[in-house]
Amino acid sequence: MTPDAFRAVASRLAGGVVVVTAVRRGVAHAATVSSVVSVSLEPPLLLFCVHADARLRDVLDDVDMWAVSVLRDEQVDVAEWLASPGRPAVGQLERVPHRAAPVSGAPWVDGAAAWFDCRTEAVHAAGDHDVVVGRVLVASEGAPDGGALVHLRGRLRGVR
């Protein structure tokens, strides 16, 4: 199985699109992620996968708290900006309305469908990515009429 063949088939797996954020030394870092899963109710656990070479992965070596914003169907621009290569490390959230999560202080994207505030429980190497498992400390729902943003077949799509 070649990476391109695997990517083509795996692109048929719809994935919810979220923004994962963390603050290190006063600087907010963010990344768009489409591999996030609720793992356990007791204790409440969430996981996401991040490329082992990603800037956010380096941040998570230094801080154990992070936040997740589950993007709504109309937040494609936020997802694309925070997934764009070469965006600045400092100030990347200046164009994204946000507020501090209640425990971690990491940014929660305004207008999202839901938010989680988490503490890292475990990190597992998995090929070219790492699986980050976090205990959910706080969770909050957005407006009940909002849809979701999903990644499917290489595109971002709104779902209601």
List, for residues 10-35, the tens digit of each pLDDT value: 999 999 999 999 999 999 999 999 99
Domains of the chain: 32-143 (2.30.110.10)
Residue 146 has pLDDT above 90, yes or no: no
Check whether 156 has a pLDDT greater than 90: yes
Confidence bin at 114 (pLDDT 50/70/90): very high
What pLDDT score was predicted for residue 34? 93
Per-residue buried b or exposed e for 132-146, using 16+ beta carbons within 10 Å of the residue's own CB: bbbbbbeeeebeeeb
pLDDT tens digits for range 78-110: 999 999 988 998 999 999 999 999 999 999 999
- Give me the pLDDT at residue 86, please: 87
Which of the four pLDDT bands, split at 50, 70 and 90, describes residue 160? confident
Comparing CA positions, the residue from 74, 97, 82, 88 lying closest to residue 148 is 74
Instruction: Check pLDDT > 90 for residue 151.
Output: yes
With CA atoms as reference, report the closest residue to 120 among 85, 81, 69, 68: 68
Pairing of strands 129-141, 45-51: antiparallel
